[in-house]
Amino acid sequence: MAKQSISFRCTNCSQSAPRWLGCCPGCNEWNSFVEETSATHFTSGSLGTTKKGVHRSESLIEMRTLESIQTTQSHRMLTHISEWDNVIGGGIMPGSLLVLTGDPGIGKSTLLLHVANELAQKHSVFYFSSEESLEQVKSRATRIGTLHEKLLFSDQAQIEGILATCHNQKPDVVIIDSIQNCFFAETHSYPGTVGQLRETSFALMRLAKENNIAVIITCHITKEGHMAGPKTLEHMVDGVFYLQGEDRFNTRILRSVKNRFGPINELGFFAMCQTGMEEVPHINKFLLDETSEAPGSILVGSLEGSRPLLLEIQALVVPTKFGMPQRVISGVDHKRVVLIAAILEKYLHIKLSAHDIFVKISGGMKLTESSSDLGIALALLSSYFQQSLGPKVMALGEVSLTGNIKAINNCESYVKEAEKFGINTIFVAETQTLNNKHLKKLKNIYQLLSFFSEPEVKD
């Protein structure tokens, strides 16, 4: 017999409740609870009871050792779009379930059309467009030149039909754009609800694993910037990739957040243009083209995955005009800048607490590493003294609370990348073991004052 149970689940955080609630107690979202009906099956002979009263199942599971498991070497499917392949982990692994998410209009469908077109050169690819009609897909594909004859399309959104087609024809790659519009006909709930997302994602996972088919799905994003749907969706899939926008250079950043077949936090850069998504393999060239030699500017390094980025820190230090000094900081942790300013004031006796401090990272990027400490300190001093540090100057070091400058990891990769662009002055810690003619080693922040002269006092 089957017993139906009715429950309510939040579409934002998947919090469940026995009755409808106006406000979700888990995420404080209003009107997010939807009704779910599930059937719990009981079979009279399915469970047995031992003498001790412990339930046991009549269908026993065979346990095996790992040595008895036969494995076959899977070859990754390359798209020859190097920025995509690098972020994915060296190509798409057969049998993997990947999610691409991002803001509306960021270019997810355009990027996947490029990927599908390249994969169709050697593999069979099915593209299911559940959000757009085939006429809309053809219009975009014609504009960006992705009309490979072996690339097959459908605008069907019913999961039963998608699964039956894939089981019957066994494609190498299945792309579904997007999972929020797909649905099970037997599930009496709207597409995009927690129940539908959970069931469709589980069915697609079994399709990928049991048939060795690579499945790529697109997923919507919430207003908080997180992937929409239950959290179990992120645990279930093999990879989660975010496509983000950067307005200054009109670029798109593909970021690896979860990847079972490759590194995380890897970045890929694309430029949105009339012909679709174009790779930007030399992003540091774009970042360095608009760097300035003005006071308050210096270069620092940030390691994203395996790629070293050269970023410009810009600082502005001016006497405050109000009772409370302002601290306006973008692209770097607010507390880190305040801490560096306090260290400079403590040991160098520079009254930064009486000045407004403005700091930003050029290019719209974000710094999270402590290797930028020395760069922040030099940028603040350069703006305070109104003296430039010179052209093509970089700083790599961590500043301790005692005023000492400490060595950082991955310094060699930063130096090699800096040398490609003619950066000839790099400030590092004295304890840094790397030897290079461009390095200037520093022991503590007292030595920073030697790069600046006291401002002249005008009568």
Question: How do residues 372-412 score in pLDDT, each as one tens digit?
Answer: 999 999 999 999 999 998 888 999 999 999 999 999 988 88
Q: Is the pLDDT of residue 321 over 90?
A: no
Q: Is the pLDDT of residue 210 over 80?
A: yes
- In degrees and rounded to multiples of 5, residue 241 shows phi and psi of -130, 130
Q: Is the pLDDT of residue 1 over 70?
A: no
Question: How do residues 213-259 score in pLDDT, each as one tens digit?
Answer: 999 999 988 777 778 777 778 888 999 999 988 655 578 889 999 99
Whole-angstrom distance, CA of residue 283 vs CA of residue 359: 22
Whole-angstrom distance, CA of residue 104 vs CA of residue 143: 20
Q: Report the pLDDT value the prediction gives residue 60, as an integer from 0 to 100.
A: 86
Domains of the chain: 1-43 (no CATH), 82-281 (3.40.50.300), 285-451 (3.30.230.10)
User: How many percent of the chain have pLDDT more than 70?
Assistant: 91
The tokens describing 437, both together, are 């003619």
Question: How do residues 279-311 score in pLDDT, each as one tens digit?
Answer: 888 888 877 877 778 899 999 988 877 788 888
For the chain, how long is the longest CA-to-CA vector? 101
Q: Report the pLDDT value the prediction gives residue 390, as an integer from 0 to 100.
A: 85
Intra-chain end-to-end CA distance of the chain, in Å: 97
Of 350, 298, 359, 361, the residue nearest 329 (C-alpha): 359
Q: Report the pLDDT value the prediction gives residue 92, as an integer from 0 to 100.
A: 93
Task: Tell me the H-state helices in 6-75.
Answer: none
Q: Do the Cβ atoms of 131 and 177 come closer than 8 Å?
A: yes
Whole-angstrom distance, CA of residue 170 vs CA of residue 209: 12
